[in-house]
Amino acid sequence: MPRPGFVLDVDRSTPPILFHHGEGFRFEKLPPGRSRVIYPAEPIDPIKNPDGAIRDALENPIGDSEPLRALLKPGMKLTIAFDDISLPLPPMKSPDIRQRVIEAVLELAAAAGVDDVMLIAALALHRRMTENELRHAVGDRVYDAFAPHGLLVNHDAEDPDNLLYIGSTDQGEEVEINKRAAESDLLIYVNINLVSMDGGWKSTATGLSSYRSLRHHHNPKTMRHSKSFMDQHRSELHSSNWRMGKVLRDSGVKVFQIETTMNNNVFGTEGPMSVLQKREWEWTLKDRITAMGMKAALDRMPARSKRSIFQNWQAPHAMTSVQAGEVEAVHKITTENVYKQHLVSVEGQTDILTMGLPYISPYNVNSIMNPILVACLGLGYFFNLYRGKPPVREGGVVIMSHPTPWEFHPVHHPSYIDFFDQVLTVTHDPVRMEAEFEKSFAEDEWYRHLYRTSYAYHGVHPFYMWYWCSHALQHVGQVIIVGGDVRAVHRLGFKAASTLQDALEMASDVVGRDATITHLHNPPVLMADVS
């Protein structure tokens, strides 16, 4: 029986806590008496027969939907869209959940005599997936059957011929999505829900949309009104996507949503990496030797080698639920299942929030975690992993641990380089950068060309990463990065500290000497349910 997450009050007997630090670790002693650590739940038990569960979900849909078998007709136009490389994190061991679901869907489609089938990676403004990444997501069988005929493609949000303007919401938000998806008799969306922000109408209204549509909710105003964007009842991002979903539904786009959840088994229960998933006081002698050995080796290893080791890691995630049918009804159940794994009850806020940032975020799979992504992972994702209120009080301090190298992937993140040099040198204010710089990056022909033909994130993407931090930047009084490249940290507008003790000392200027501390222990991710 997996143990639930819990909050540990730090005292003198508490061992040093493992902080992830990019492609390495730090062991930190938190001040006793005024610190607490939020530990995630252990991985919940997976479904024993995932393929059977998928077939069952397709036959017994949720909400106002017929079984998939009944929706499939000979001669129909069928489009299957699926989540891109940003999910799950880290990439999971083969077979990927998407492969299992897509194969089950295609078996039914074949039995129904559906010939006109197309698969689309719903990547919005993310980079295109490479052949290997697509193969991993959908499996060799599906890839070999569809890709050579041009029937398995990456969504192109800058292809005017393949986008269709559907209409606008009652608040004037334009809805424009992939033309093939919009004109299909049935659009099946295959989703992986890693965090509660994923899924629902966000899958189609964001994943298959264009800049014209995305700009209505990917902006500082929406992000500042999403408290947090992981809590759909208090997320303006969620509300906007739901309004767009209504436009899609009313215009006749028929969506059959298939959502899956997975457990947080990131490093497994065996092998050297499994120590990263255990609670420190439960480490055996072997675990302690492994952890120390890994740290010593990683500290001495070149960055490229470390990155290669971690980026090649495939997590033994396993599926914990699958539900299919009408979008909103499905997503409601999905969210409950996500919460079963992630929610940890936490009482009250503290003055300081600490977090060890790992090597991976949704936007640097098989890539480099540049300083902008470090900020986004900490202040965008981890900070927002709460329900109720943030674990740190307003005006408090966030301390993040990450090497924050001044390093960018030139193929994946070309516009990030210019954003770092041209925008962050002028302002850190998301509202100002939106007004002054966003349009020129979003409509830059070179970035557009790289997004469409190479493997680059869209020109506007680094702005979105900064907007993601809007709520945190507005909420906290100071951000300190421990162990980061000082110049890069300063460019981000944050303070740099060599050690956690230094960071706490610096934080005392803002929150006082006896400040209380909350540490988010991750990965795996958790969601603090703060009362």
Partner 1 sequence: MSPMPITRKQAIDLTKRLPINKSVKGFSRAGSRATRMVRAILTTPPVPNGVEKVSKEKNIGANYDTDWARSYPARFARVVVLNALMKPIVDLIATPTIVGTDRLADIDGPVIFAANHHSHADTPLMMTAIPEPWRNRLFIGAAADYWFANRITSPLSALLIGAIPVERQKVSRKAIDQSLELLKEGWSMLIFPEGARSSDGWARPFTSGTAFLSSHTGAPVVPVYLRGTNKVLPKGRNFPRPNPTFVVFGAPMYALEGEDSKTFAARIQDAVAALADETSSDWWQAQLRAATKATPAIEGPALGAWRRSWSQGTNRRDARRKWPNV
Whether the CB-CB separation of 120 and 155 falls below 8 Å is answered with yes
CB of 253 to partner 1, least distance (A): 24
**What tokens does 106 get?**
């295609």
CB of 391 to partner 1, least distance (A): 37
Mind spelling out the 3-state secondary structure of 482-528? Answer: ECCCHHHHHHCCCEEECCHHHHHHHHHHHHCCCCCEEEECCCCCCEE
- Looking at beta carbons only, is 53 or 365 nearer to partner 1? 53
Residue whose C-alpha is closest to residue 326's, from 262, 245, 404 = 245
- Looking at beta carbons only, is 180 or 519 nearer to partner 1? 180
CB of 139 to partner 1, least distance (A): 6
CB of 323 to partner 1, least distance (A): 20
Q: Give residue 287's region: left, alpha or beta (phi > 0; psi -120 to 50).
A: alpha
- Looking at beta carbons only, is 141 or 432 nearer to partner 1? 141
Helix, strand counts (H, E) of the chain: 23, 20
Residues 6 or more apart whose Cβ sits within 8 Å of residue 143: 131, 134, 135, 152
Whether the CB-CB separation of 341 and 526 falls below 8 Å is answered with no
Residues making contact with partner 1 (CB under 8 A): 49-51, 93-95, 99, 106-107, 110-113, 115, 117, 139-142, 144-146
- Looking at beta carbons only, is 50 or 378 nearer to partner 1? 50
CB of 110 to partner 1, least distance (A): 4
CB of 74 to partner 1, least distance (A): 11
- Looking at beta carbons only, is 106 or 368 nearer to partner 1? 106
Question: Residue 187: helix, strand or coil by DSSP?
Answer: strand
CB of 272 to partner 1, least distance (A): 18
- Looking at beta carbons only, is 74 or 252 nearer to partner 1? 74
CB of 89 to partner 1, least distance (A): 20
- Looking at beta carbons only, is 103 or 326 nearer to partner 1? 103
CB of 140 to partner 1, least distance (A): 6
CB of 259 to partner 1, least distance (A): 20
Question: Residue 202: helix, strand or coil by DSSP?
Answer: helix
- Looking at beta carbons only, is 151 or 301 nearer to partner 1? 151
Q: Which residues pair with 496 in a beta bridge?
A: 481
Whether the CB-CB separation of 477 and 396 falls below 8 Å is answered with yes
Residue whose C-alpha is closest to residue 494's, from 505, 512, 482 = 482
- Looking at beta carbons only, is 117 or 392 nearer to partner 1? 117
- Looking at beta carbons only, is 107 or 505 nearer to partner 1? 107
Question: Residue 370: helix, strand or coil by DSSP?
Answer: coil
Whether the CB-CB separation of 209 and 123 falls below 8 Å is answered with no
Residues 6 or more apart whose Cβ sits within 8 Å of residue 504: 31, 352, 399, 515, 517
- Looking at beta carbons only, is 94 or 312 nearer to partner 1? 94
CB of 302 to partner 1, least distance (A): 31
Distance of alpha carbon 212 from the chain centroid: 22
Reported for 408-413, long-range contacts at CB under 8 A and 24+ positions apart, including other chains, are 408/368, 408/370, 409/364, 409/367, 409/368, 409/370, 411/454, 411/455, 411/456, 412/127, 412/364, 412/367, 412/368, 412/455, 412/456, 412/457, 413/367, 413/368, 413/370, 413/456, 413/457, 413/462
